[in-house]
Chains A and B, each alone.
Chain A
Amino acid sequence: MARYFAIRIGRAMITIALVVTFAFVVLRLSGDPALIIMGPEAPPEVIAAFRKAWGLDDPIWMQYFDYFGAIAKGELGRSMRDGRPAIALVLERIPATLTLTIPALLLKLAIGIPGGIFAALHRGSLIDRAVMIGAVAGFTVPSFVLGLVLVLIFAVQLGWLPSGGQETWRHAILPVFTLGIGGAAVLARFTRSAMLEVLGQSYIRTASAKGVSWRAVVLSHALPNAAIPTVTIIGFMVGTLIAGAVVVESVFSWPGVGRLLVVAVANRDLAVVQCILLLVAATMVTSNLIVDFLYGFLDPRLRSREAAGAH
């Protein structure tokens, strides 16, 4: 068990190290970081001070380790635009993003999981077909198209809801639905196939054959086993709570992390972009780690297999 967790934690650390390396390589490849971060108009003495502070005159491998050190200490640079620490700018946008992504996640779970289970239990029924069609639509309709069509219907034509901004709770309805509907369809399709896979197993047939009621078979044999793959995709959704609304926030002019990222990329405000990149990586890695831990508890086979494979 300890070994299982140790391997997972090790992998998480490697992923974070790869993201930091990615940021370092991209930053070095794109030109002189001093000029890029401080801007071309910065006076030479400022550039020289920056080069000294960041050790840009050191050999490249030393710079690489210093870069790790700086990030470990939370020194993520300052925004080129208003000179404030990048991390502060990013952190103050997080609540706005979570206001959209958490209700959207709940919506996905509330529609997707029951929808998928129902579709699997009533294979070929009207609801099953609706789930499958919805899943295809959820994949093929881009979120900005869905968002704009909702705006066209509910804001422009009907005038029921505002088309953008963040003033009241009513402003959040369209973006939350835009985020939630597509994800619900994907989750429903995933849950459906996980359920179908489990329902085809021999232990389900055995349980039915020995006279267990269908209800009990579903509740105590099928659902717990189907939960295991479903947890993976939910974990991925939790991981995208911060980064998953980039496009939708832009459609609805919602002042969250995604909107900040788009503006920062357009202005090439690199410290802010780098900070968001690392934050997203940390969120993804953490949620993956939690999923792996949950696996360890949900699926005892995984632990023993890991232990068996250890020799």
Chain B
Amino acid sequence: MADLSLPGSTAAKRTISWPRIPPVVAVAILWVVAMLVVAILAEAIAPYGVTKMDLRNRLSAPGNAAHWLGTDELGRDVLSRLIFSIRISFLIAFGATAISAIVGTLLGFLAAHFRGLAEQAVLMLADFQASMPFLILALAVLAFFGSSLPLLIGLMGLYGWERYARIARGLAVSATGQGYASAVRQLGAAPSRIYLRHILPNIASTLIVSMTLVFPEVILLESGLSFLGLGVQPPMTSLGNMVGYGREYIGSAPWIMLTPAAIITLTTLAVSLIGDWLRDKLDPTLA
């Protein structure tokens, strides 16, 4: 994890040659951007409301002029539900990834700055989190508190923080030993300034790569919980909810389940591909 390059060479390494993006990664980026646009413009592009029923067109197959992706057993438009599901699933995944990155980095910095007991406590919590299956911890919290959207985002935000904390701590410890950090410190900068203005930009690329690795896992986790009926609650809908609900009709109307399942899979695949590529580009030291 230690940066072996000389302090002066980091600036040169940072000028990334942007043009050569492999076609697969380009497609993955396009997919994620398309999903983001769909999530942001959901109201504008969804042909129907989430709960709007068309009772004369129940369980109609895809390819229908009024309902491109068909309808479910209440005559609700699958495409519209899909669009709003993408919005909720992305909202949770982005919110959670941001929370865990901020919390993890902060704890990592605190550990690096104070060392001693604080560091031991953070590392112990990180070990604990890494050794327990997160799904079980999440289910326990949901059992005690019930499910709601803010709780779900906060809960998913606890996923993966230990990875940022370990990375931030390790990199901050090695950065403190480098010339630039001690130079600013001797100029009288406060610790918060050193960490946020000087060390953070230098380790940002590694943290961003970690975010692209955690993001698909959060999507999988949320869709799993929602699939079990314990995540996002109706009338709100998420991709996992749609799959869980569509499985009742797997024999008669498989499209209800297959379309959201495909979106989940393609999105996690796309973000993982982008993450792998970014890792090779920005930080080959990450395993």
Residues of A within 8 A of B (CB): 11, 14-15, 18-19, 22-23, 26-27, 29-30, 36, 136, 139-145, 148-149, 151-152, 156, 163, 240, 243-244, 246-247, 250-251, 261-262, 264-266, 268-270, 273-274, 276-277, 280-281, 284-285, 288
Contacts and interface: CB of A to CB of B under 8 A. Distances in A.
A269 B144 CA distance: 9
Please classify the interface of chain B as helix (H, G, I), strand (E, B), loop, or mixed, using the class held by over half of its residues.
helix
Nearest to A156: B251
Contacts of B264: 142, 145
A277 B140 contact: yes
A240 B146 contact: no
B229 interface: yes
A15 B140 contact: no
A262 to B, nearest CB: 5
Contact of A148 (B127, B250, B268): B250
B225 to A, nearest CB: 9
Contact of B272 (A11, A136, A148, A246): A136
Given A140-B216, A140-B265, A148-B257, A30 B145 contact: yes
Contact of B143 (A19, A151, A243, A268): A268
Contacts of A268: 143-144, 146
What 10 A-B pairs have minimum CB-CB distances, sorted nearest first? A30-B144, A265-B143, A145-B261, A273-B143, A140-B268, A140-B269, A18-B128, A277-B140, A144-B227, A26-B144
B75 interface: no
A11 B261 contact: no
Contact of B136 (A136, A151, A243): A243
B1 interface: no
Contacts of A265: 139-140, 142-143, 230
B137 to A, nearest CB: 7
A117 to B, nearest CB: 19
Contact of B137 (A22, A139, A264, A269): A22
15 contacts: A18-B124, A140-B265, A142-B224, A145-B264, A149-B261, A156-B254, A244-B133, A247-B135, A262-B228, A266-B229, A277-B137, A280-B132, A280-B133, A280-B136, A288-B131
Contacts, number: 123
A279 B240 CA distance: 27
B220 interface: yes
Interface of B: 124-125, 127-128, 131-133, 135-137, 139-146, 216, 220, 223-224, 227-230, 240, 243-244, 247, 250-251, 254, 257-258, 261, 264-265, 268-269, 272
B136 A276 contact: yes
A245 to B, nearest CB: 11
Given A144-B227, A266-B229, A19 B132 contact: yes
A145 B136 CA distance: 20
Contacts of A36: 144
Contacts of A14: 124, 128
A152 B131 contact: no
Contacts of B258: 152
